[in-house]
Structure 1
Amino acid sequence: MRARGLGAEIIVVHGETIVEPVIPGTNHVAVSCPEVDILAHPGLITVDDAELARENGVTLELSARKGHCLGNGHVAGVAREVGVPVVIDTDTHAPGDLLDYDMARRVGLGAGLDESEVEEALVKNPRKLLKGNGII
C-alpha cells in the first residue's frame, strides 16, 4: 500500500459510519486489505466483513465521537461474534474530544463490552497493534 511506503506506521480507514456519507463498500475494501490496521467507526459492518477483518488483521474501532458512536453496540457485538479485535478511540477533531481512561472505559461498557473486553480494547489490542508494526 502506498501509505506504508510513504512512512505511515498506522493505517486507519474511515469506515461506513451511519452519520456521514461514505461510499458503500468502503468497509469491505478496507477489511480486504492486510495493510489496513484499523477500520474506524464501521457503522453497521456485516459479519462477512468482520470475518475478513479478522483474517486480514484489521482491528475495528469503537468510537467516542458523537454520531459515530451510534454504531458501537453493533460493532462490538459483531466483533465478539467473529473474534475480531476492537480498540476504543476518540476520532478527535478538537482538544475537547480527547478522553481520559475512565471515559474511554465507559464508552466500551456503553457499547456492551464487559470489563475484560474493555481492558483488551484499551490496553492489550493497541499494544499488540503497535508491537506488530514495530512502533514499540
Structure 2
Amino acid sequence: MIRYLEAAWPHEGCGVILRSDEGAGESWRVVSLPNASPTPRVAYAFAQEAWLQVCLDADARREVVACVFHSHVDAPAVFSTEDRRQAAPSGISLLPQVSYIVVAIYGGRAVSASRSVWITGGFQTVPLLLADFRFEKPV
C-alpha cells in the first residue's frame, strides 16, 4: 500500500484492503485502484469499472472490504472534510464496517498516516505508525 501511494505522487493514490476468513485463517489483500478524480492532486475517486471488478472478485473469493485507503499530496494525513463528505454524504456512512486510512505523501515519500472509523454517527481518527506498514529495512 505504501509503495503504491508513494508511486502515485504527485497525485493521490487510492485502493482497498480486503479480508478473508476462509481456509486456514484470516488473510489480507491490498488492491490499488485507478484514481478517476478530475482533480487527482487534491482528491480521489475510484474508477467505477475497476471498483465493480474489485467487488465482483472479492465476492467470488469470499472477501470483504475492510479498509479504503488513499493519500494526501503534500498535505497532512487527516480525514478531511471532503473525505468525510464522500464517506458519509448525508451524515450516514456508506460503508459503516470499513475503516479509512489516509497517508501523507510529501515529495514522493510517506511521512505519516491516520485511520478513521465510523462510531455512532461520526468518524473517529487516530494516528498510525508508518513502521507498521513498512517491510523494508531503513536506509
Question: Shared topology, TM-score over 0.5?
Answer: no
- Which structure dedicates a bigger proportion of its chain to strand? 2
Q: TM-score, normalised by structure 2?
A: 0.33
Compare CA radii of gyration and give the structure with the larger one: 2
